[in-house]
A and B are shown apart, each in its own frame.
Chain A
Amino acid sequence: MDRNRRSELLARANSSELTAMAEAFLSRRSIAEEIQVVNPPEVGMVMMQVREPVCKERFHLGEVVVTRAEVAVAGVRGWAMRSGTDRETTLAAALLDACAEHDVELAAEVQALCERTADRIAADERREWEELRATAVSFEELD
């Protein structure tokens, strides 16, 4: 799993799973002593630019509330941005990203969490489609 994909999944992972794993990592002296919060969690917005299909022009749809954080472990930087205002979970995600870059063993644990998240998202989407497909319609034209 490459780093970009990991960030995407850490952004969508369950809050409880992320914070529990971050707590577990922090209980290791090797992590606790080497951690540095580079940018503390900050709530802000990203402006959503969209490209519309008629003229292929960009316009601003509106802003999305996000929280971002940056953490380093032994100088290795980790970054996270998640939608919403949950500072603690975003900090946990940034810590896991840094740990995954810093330590092969921890990377495997983070990867497992990310894979569970990907499986959950895929299952949700399958379920969603299974419910939606019953609403597919073909109206008949009247003569």
Chain B
Amino acid sequence: MGYAAARGGLKAIEAAERLVARERVLGESQWLESKQMIEKLRLAVDRVMGEGGLWDEHLAASALRQAEGDPIEAAHLLRSYRSTLPRLAYTTPVDVDDLTVLRRIVPAFRNPPGPQLLGRTTDYTGRLLDTDDETSQRTAAEKMAAFIEENVTISKAIDGDAEPTDIRQPRRLLDLLRDLDAVVDRRRTDDPEPFDITRHPARPPATRSARLATMARAETGALVNVWYRNILGPDGYLHEITLGEVRHGRLPVTVIHPLTGDPVSISDVRVTEVEAIEDLNGIDEDRGRFDVGYGLCFGHNEKKAIAMANLDIACERDKGRSFLEQSILLTTDGLDASGFLEHLKLPHYVTFRSMMERKAAIRQFQENT
């Protein structure tokens, strides 16, 4: 017990830990394998990696198991682990145009360059709770697997092995809008060094790279809340937004080979990417064109990437006039928020006794006057 003005309790703390550890590891069910979580609870594992700011599916699954399924606590464990590791290198700047899509939809445009590819999603499926037992669910899944297998064979026979690059790495809608001169051009040529939020806290006014990095690591629920409050809530910043790109896919991890000096791709990470098209209507804005916000985060987490893209452009347009940037930078980190919240459970006996004494003194003063 290291909290101010209280100590002791070691035996009780150890007993409490034993209760958690016994049920978490033993219980009446089987050991929860990391592979099982990566396969079957993939969105939870992805969320933990995103909010932990660290890509490693096995470590994230271990964290989720240790945290008994609490994603914020799991992200906390991952960040703690991260703090023990050296940073060996920076990747070469990975161009997001190199993303190989597993899913790609363009809600704004019916016929974008490249395919509208639903990928692995239940976006268009009714939200009905499946209460069937394991045998029934397995039978149904096996039928679906057989259907996929049958159709894969057919498509193979028709089209061979062709997989053109423009299908897996389609041109983005933003490029088309640029061709049509329908979007303001904010491309920079000075290539500023990115802000490192793991070394310095980002505070307003911050660079865009600090905001993007903060949101990429933000807690999903917090980011969605800031977005929702911004677009519909008391902030009153009502704006017309349409999603350009929503992508889930693989990005290469490219580092410089120390013996050749050339970039080599050593791995991939999965990311979710979103472009949000904003209708500019301000008096000081180019009302004949759109602007675009950008969101990118580890794993498959569309809620987070959509909120991020919307908040990126909202922040850009806000130009520090409201507290939006401050909200993003200071209140969306899961570790910050939950750390402060959790600490409230620690003994506050001394501070509260002091408050009680003050109340008593005030009451006595009121009674005497």
Contact = CB atoms under 8 A, between A and B. Distances in A.
Contact of B213 (A11, A54, A59, A65): A59
B73 interface: no
B266 interface: yes
Interface centre among A43, A62, A70, A139 (most CB of B within 10 A): A62
A126 B155 contact: no
B296 interface: yes
A75 B297 CA distance: 42
A93 to B, nearest CB: 10
Contacts of B121: 135
B284 interface: no
A141 interface: yes
A33 to B, nearest CB: 23
Nearest to A134: B151
B196 interface: yes
A128 B262 CA distance: 29
Contacts of A83: 55-56, 253, 266-267
B87 A47 contact: yes
Interface residues of B, number: 85
B197 interface: yes
Contacts of A51: 93-96
Contact of A84 (B56, B168, B292, B293): B56
A138 B117 CA distance: 9
A18 to B, nearest CB: 14
Interface in B95-135: 95-97, 102-103, 110-111, 115-121
Contacts of A133: 117, 155
Interface of A: 3-4, 7-8, 11-12, 42-66, 68, 70, 77, 79, 81-85, 125-139, 141
27 contacts: A7-B257, A8-B265, A46-B87, A46-B255, A47-B198, A48-B55, A48-B251, A53-B174, A53-B275, A55-B186, A55-B187, A57-B191, A59-B195, A61-B213, A61-B296, A61-B298, A62-B217, A63-B54, A63-B87, A64-B253, A65-B55, A83-B55, A136-B115, A136-B118, A138-B110, A138-B116, A139-B110
Given A54-B293, A56-B189, A83-B267, 16 more contacts: A42-B88, A45-B88, A46-B253, A51-B95, A52-B294, A58-B93, A59-B208, A59-B213, A61-B271, A61-B297, A68-B88, A84-B56, A85-B59, A133-B155, A137-B116, A138-B110
Interface of B: 49-50, 53-56, 58-59, 82, 85-97, 102-103, 110-111, 115-121, 148, 151-152, 155-156, 161, 163, 167-168, 172, 174, 186-189, 191-198, 208-209, 212-213, 216-217, 251, 253, 255, 257-260, 262-267, 269, 271, 275, 292-294, 296-298, 312
